Structure 1
Amino acid sequence: MKKAPEKVGRAIAQDIDFLKKLCSCVWHLEIEPVEFEEKWNKVISKFHLNDHEWLAYMYNIRDMWIPAYFRYLFLGGIMRTTSRSESENNFFTMFTNPHLTLIEFYMRHTQNKIDNDSKNKRPECKTPIPLEKDASELFTTTIFYEFQYELEIGCFNCGVEEMKKDNELYIFNLREGTRRRTFDVVFDPTTFDTKCFCKKLERDEGNALEECINAVDKKMLLNDLWSEIHACVSLVQNNEDDLSDLVKKLRAMRVNVPNDVHVPNEVHVPNSDKRMKSDREKSIEQSQKKKRLCKACGELGYHDSRNCPRKVK
């Protein structure tokens, strides 16, 4: 049936309704031969293909390939051997190709396994605390295990030595395992803020929340800047004198920029959903492409006669 679009012509092949109706009568496993013949003739008549030579030939040998004529025979699935093989090939080509190195294959397999586990599996919780269950649904598997380790220590290895109230604050004195040193944890019930004087979060992770806020503010500021620039350009684009004045003002502003400001070689376009790819990602994508035979140099590569590096200019 893959030859059908090529045989019937482009005009009919582009009609989605034709292929849909034809495949529904050919591959229907629950109809009798008489029903198949009726459906086939309706499709042929509807699209005016009664005199089509190839379709007429396929219809004459219908008892050799149409599943409706083999309903009462045990075939062990051999009617779909080719389609199964093609389906498997299509699946595996999404992850590998003949030019893929062993290291790249291992890295892809590992990354895809982690992604699949994060999307489709939920790690086992070790405590009945709802916070752990919520974290298992929110975090990736790797991050969750780090969180679970700290939560488990907090639940089973830490004990409250003393609790006191200072103004509106609750102060808990905690001991971890058999360690002699204790630490105070301050809880503010009005704002639900919690602060531990062991400073582990600040020491290991830094102020992550503050860094995220600063990054968001910077991105919003850059978006506002580009919006203003585009608005100015659109206002003066039809007036050559105003456009020239705008260019001069921008150049004057660039002169006043401090020398220690780093200007990147590649500028990322704002509001773009695509990120800049690293050299490693570019090389991996390049290795996935199939090599072609160059008519200019006669070698297999990722170029052709138009951009051959050996081409004499």
Structure 2
Amino acid sequence: MIVTDQDMGMRSAIEEVLVDMRHRWCMWHIMHKLATKVLNRLLRDEDFKKEFNACVWSDLLEPDEFEEEWKRVVESHGLEDFDWFNTLYEYRHFWIPAYFKDFPLGSMIRTTSILESENSFYKRFLKPRANIAKFYLNFNHAVEFQRNSRTALDYHDATVLPILATTLPFEKHASTLYTDTMFKRIQKEIVEGNDRCRVLGFSSTKFVDTYKLGDSNRKSNNELKKIPDKYCQSRWMKTPLAKAVHGEFHDDFPTRSVVDDRQTLSKQGISMFYGFLRRFEGDIELLRAFVGGVEELGNSGNPTTSAAEKR
């Protein structure tokens, strides 16, 4: 997928050179131009803005449903003779979500999505008039904050047991696969599908049509026990989670208080602990030795060990 503005020369070049690339127009650029293309009375018309946004932003509409809704909005607000709207409709397959249902868009609706997210995060740490030394220190603080947040989320996903809303086997299976945030979204769909099956008179243990899943892992009675492998994408799984490739950052500057020292050491300890877990998870013997050593350390209170034992 490649996202650009509405430059026709770029569109032609992409079609000729990047033949295997899906091309999409940036929604932000299109909606930004809307204010200069419609009459002022429409810009003040809340009904028009709600109807237009519902038409062009919805990923629930099918292509024929979008085309019908677009024509209704254009005709009801007298926009049939506006060339800009006619051009947008002619190239609707470049920017309307209904024509990208076969492609996982993620954050690719707007070119500004990732940039806005980065700006929103880093401006909490960086100052526009900071010199290069302050920029370097503040940037490292921002990166350390991201690493600590990821570590906390890893710990949450590794220790928290989700509360199941149904007795369906594939809900329990999903709770063991997906991160806590993603599982809550999937669980909501499972509950809605389960309720729909009950309304239609089907057993709650039968296959839920909401997912439109394949035939894998089904029994002869159409019962689904596990989430099919093709829906187990690594981006949303508890393990292995995507890990940033980075070196260790050592803060050589003295901290101002004992509380700061304690927090720094605590964060360092958590980071080291999960780092060792990730290193040893592929070797069961090393993992057993690591867990045994941690358990022994915990049972011994404040141990005094020799250099050899520490190694």
TM-score (norm 2): 0.32
Higher strand share: 1
The structure, 1 or 2, with the larger RCO (C-alpha pairs under 8 Å, 6+ apart) is 2
Larger-Rg structure: 1
TM-score (norm 1): 0.32
Higher helix share: 2
